[in-house]
Amino acid sequence: MRTTALGIGYRCQTTRVNRLQKVGAMLVVVCVFGFVLHESIHFLRYGHLAPLALHADTILTTQSNLLGIEGVAKIYDARLTNYGILPATITVCDYLDYAGSHKTMVTYLVERWDKQLLKWSAVPEWDDFGSRLFCRPSFEVTETHLVRRLIWPGQSICVGQVVPPERNGFHIGDDGRFTIFTGMDGDRDNAVSTAPFRVEQQIKTKVTLGQH
């Protein structure tokens, strides 16, 4: 009887171990499948893979009714997303806008690829929230406060906007990108850049009546 009881106990323990192994294997398969699916979707949408960390992408939209711009304008925005499994901390600016609403801005630069110097250079025409104006009071921004904020896994923050026909700084065929500072402004050791986007429009404003 004792031997039989020991045998039954051993078989029960072995069964539990086998079940745990199967559950562990299933979790690994699910995680691998989820990772492959995520990377596949991201590659199809943006043309590159995303790391399991903070990552920035350029979002392209179009609009045909922008004031002063003829035809359909291409609009480039950036989106910072935490693709990691742990929350990430970044420095942001909390402020009040002209309507009294609480909002958040992230410091960034718009850069253009210099074909002669073979390096990325800041485009001053688009330096709205870079080192020049980031978290500083202006006619539209008040009560500015630098704070550290958690970005949870899967959470995104929209950053900036570039509409090449609106201002100077880009010519047709130029490559641009957003560089987002997750630490202090200008700290390139804690910065995330988007993949380059190709500019296909230059300034082309509408001609109003009475102009020649």
pLDDT at residue 146 above 80? yes
Q: What residues form DSSP beta bridges with 142? A: 96
Q: What pLDDT score does 143 carry?
A: 84
The residue type found at 110 is: V
Q: What pLDDT score does 88 carry?
A: 93
**From the centroid of its chain, how far is CA 94?**
18
pTM of this prediction?
A: 0.76
Q: What is the pLDDT of residues 33-67, one digit of tens each?
A: 666 776 777 777 777 878 888 999 999 988 887 77
Q: What is the pLDDT of residues 90-137, one digit of tens each?
A: 998 888 887 778 888 888 999 999 999 999 999 988 876 555 568 887
Q: What is the DSSP string of 142-186?
A: EEEEEEEEEE-TT-EEEEEEE-GGGSSS--TT-EEEEEEESSSTT
Q: What pLDDT score does 55 carry?
A: 93
With cut-offs at 50, 70 and 90, classify the pLDDT of residue 208. very low
Instruction: Take residue 9 and report the two structure tokens written for it.
Output: 């106990």
Q: What pLDDT score does 207 carry?
A: 47
With cut-offs at 50, 70 and 90, classify the pLDDT of residue 150. very high
